[in-house]
Amino acid sequence: DKNWSKEIWQDQLTKSIYTAYEKAGWYYLKAINQNGKLHDTETKLTHARFPEKIVIRNNRVYYLIENTITGEYRSVYSQYLN
């Protein structure tokens, strides 16, 4: 089952709008078109589960991942959107 996020994000440069759903801890971003419908393509945030502080800029997504073993530090990851 898909657990849809209540958050939306806007690409700071392209102005595209995105939402996400979580499945087994993995996040998938989907663009929303001007009519409020979801695009068919999606982007899985592949570096780790449960990303934090998602930011989208120029068709790239950036997010923080906490070290799940120690919880002591976070890393920033980025990837291109589909």
β-bridge mates for residue 55, sequence order: 62
The overall pTM is greater than 0.95: no
E strand or H helix at 79: strand 74-80
User: Each residue of 4-59: pLDDT tens digit?
Assistant: 988 999 999 999 999 999 998 899 999 999 899 999 999 999 987 788 899 999 99
* pLDDT band for position 74 (cuts 50, 70, 90): confident
Q: What is the pLDDT of residue 1?
A: 62
Who contacts 2 (Cβ-Cβ below 8 Å, separation ≥6)?
A: 21, 22, 23, 28
Decide the pairing of beta strands 17-23 and 74-80: unpaired
